[in-house]
Amino acid sequence: KYLFMLFSFPSPMFLGIGQMAATILILYVSKLNKIVHFPDFDKSIPVKLFPLPLIYVGNHISGLSSTSKLSLPMFTVLRKFTIPLTLLLEIIILGKRYPLSIIVSVFAIILGAFIAAGSDLSFNLEGYTFVLLNDIFTAANGVYTKQKIDPKELGKYGVLFYNACFMVVPTVIISFSTGDFQQVRNNIVCLRLIVVF
């Protein structure tokens, strides 16, 4: 939010690529130094993870894009929709059942968030679209992680590491092909900020 609002950073996708690269580097160095543990790559990992890498990059880019387009109060309100979406997906995909008290509590949280952001009634269709996509990707990520991943096999660090590994190159290709990378390159101030951070 700081980069987008104060420095008019032009590219959520480029920032996402930087975060993926940092995730890969930090987790790999941590694994080498035995700070964190996750399995070495083998050909079964992509099969175990799919579709999580796609959900991961969608979550990553839509989250950064929505942050750049919306005020913080409205962003917070719309992010609360992740909770009912997660409940809905868990009912559909995992077959879970929730008591009425939990469902009422979730809607009370959403109502409270709307009341808190009531003074900010600005409308930005692009920002609303990105944040609602981010809600969907976040909910799907949580549900599919529960369904597909045995924590004893990959663990949270393994999931993070391999999601970033599988998606950083396709995201770089998308950035180049859409002109996103050129937009950042042409903004010298932003490149200097990247070096600083």
Stated length of the chain: 197
pLDDT in tens, the chain (197 residues): 555 555 555 567 777 888 889 999 999 999 999 999 888 888 888 888 888 888 888 887 887 777 777 777 777 778 888 888 888 888 888 888 888 888 888 888 888 777 766 666 666 778 888 888 989 999 998 888 877 666 567 788 888 899 889 988 888 888 888 777 777 666 655 555 555 55
In a domain, 65, yes or no: yes
In a domain, 194, yes or no: no
In a domain, 121, yes or no: yes
What total of structural domains would you count in the chain? 1
- Per-residue pLDDT, 29: 95
In a domain, 99, yes or no: yes
Domain that holds residue 67: 12-178
Check if the beta carbon of residue 87 is closer than 8 Å to that of residue 95. Answer: no
Helices 82-89 and 125-148: crossing angle, nearest 10°? 40
CA distance 113 to 185: 38
In a domain, 193, yes or no: no
In a domain, 26, yes or no: yes
| Cβ partners under 8 Å of residue 45, min gap 6 | 39, 154, 162
Structure pTM? 0.70
